[in-house]
Amino acid sequence: MIYLKTDEEIELMRVANLLVGATLAEVAKHIEPGVTTLQLDKIGDEFIRDHGAIPLFKGYNGFPNALCISINENVVHGIPGDYRLKEGDIVSVDCGTKINGYCGDSAYTFEVGEVSPATKKLLETTKESLSVGIEAAVEGKRIGDIGNAIQTYCEAHGYSVVRDLVGHGIGREMHEDPQVPNYGKKGYGPLLRNGMCIAIEPMINLGKRNVKFEKDGWTVRTADRKPSAHFEHTIAIRQGKADILSSFEFINQVLQNK
């Protein structure tokens, strides 16, 4: 069942999503060599709670932390721990909040110091593919148009698209219908209607698209152990142009000042 949101509900979702953007920016201030992923998680957890929200991921199906932090070849759902960031790492930070009964969800992949040119290009292309997917997310099109736009863009640049994990509807719950794959055919899938809210999240690999699920029950990594990038926005479907409810602007301000 796909739930269409009212304008009032969308504004409540915007509050939750802007808090996610602010949390990711707060975490970004501390991303540097020597910091542990658990330290970053603690910063995010406290920031969310200090702003009157709850960390959406914590306790979800038993997930132990507020943030998913995935390093290098880890695609998504990395569990924060004792790993210390190193120069040249990339760090995907996925964050969710719930406030006033509505959810926010967004992710950003950060560079630790200087990363290799090939890795930097992967991040740039993945972030650009998110924008390309959002451009296709307008009333009257279909879910397949979003995935096709992302897939076509990334594969044209020589990258592969993870098939085992997808984006999702979002609202009062973190995961609602419909699923939003990052691949697909134009004109296929559920119709995009005004008031639909979805999280679009390209997960793009430098190598092949195959992934492995680690023994911790959460972490997903590339099978060939080559780097993977992940960017995510929550949007509302509108006529003509999607309304992006989350934001990278707070992150951009932090990165410009580092």
For 229-246, write each residue's pLDDT tens digit: 999 999 999 988 999 999
Contact 141, 193 (CB under 8 A): no
d(CA 198, CA 235) in angstroms, rounded, equals: 6
For 79-94, write each residue's pLDDT tens digit: 999 999 999 999 999 9
With a CB cutoff of 8 Å and minimum separation 6, the contacts of 236 are 5, 10, 13, 195, 196, 197, 242, 243, 245
How would CATH label the architecture of 7-257? Alpha-Beta Complex (3.90)
pLDDT exceeds cutoff 90 at 216: yes
Whose tokens are 């995907």? That residue is: 92
pLDDT at residue number 14: 98
Contact 101, 9 (CB under 8 A): no
- Domain range list for the chain: 7-257
pLDDT bucket at 133, cuts 50 / 70 / 90: very high
pLDDT at residue number 15: 98
DSSP conformation letters of 41-62: HHHHHHHHHHTT-EESSTTGGG
pLDDT at residue number 91: 98
pLDDT mean over 91-106 = 98
pLDDT bucket at 71, cuts 50 / 70 / 90: very high
pLDDT at residue number 157: 98
pLDDT bucket at 258, cuts 50 / 70 / 90: confident
d(CA 109, CA 96) in angstroms, rounded, equals: 15
d(CA 206, CA 116) in angstroms, rounded, equals: 12
pLDDT at residue number 30: 98
DSSP conformation letters of 113-141: SS--HHHHHHHHHHHHHHHHHHHT--TTS
pTM of the model: 0.98
* Identity of the residue numbered 238: R
Q: In whole angstroms, how far apart are CA 205 and each of 50, 87, 106, 158?
A: 35, 20, 19, 10
Q: In whole angstroms, how far apart are CA 184 and each of 16, 71, 151, 157, 163?
A: 29, 27, 7, 17, 10
For 157-194, write each residue's pLDDT tens digit: 999 999 999 999 999 999 999 999 999 999 999 999 99
pLDDT mean over 130-157 = 98
pLDDT at residue number 103: 98
Contact 174, 105 (CB under 8 A): yes
For 33-63, write each residue's pLDDT tens digit: 999 999 999 999 999 999 999 999 999 999 9
pLDDT exceeds cutoff 90 at 148: yes
The mean pLDDT of the chain is 98
pLDDT mean over 11-27 = 98
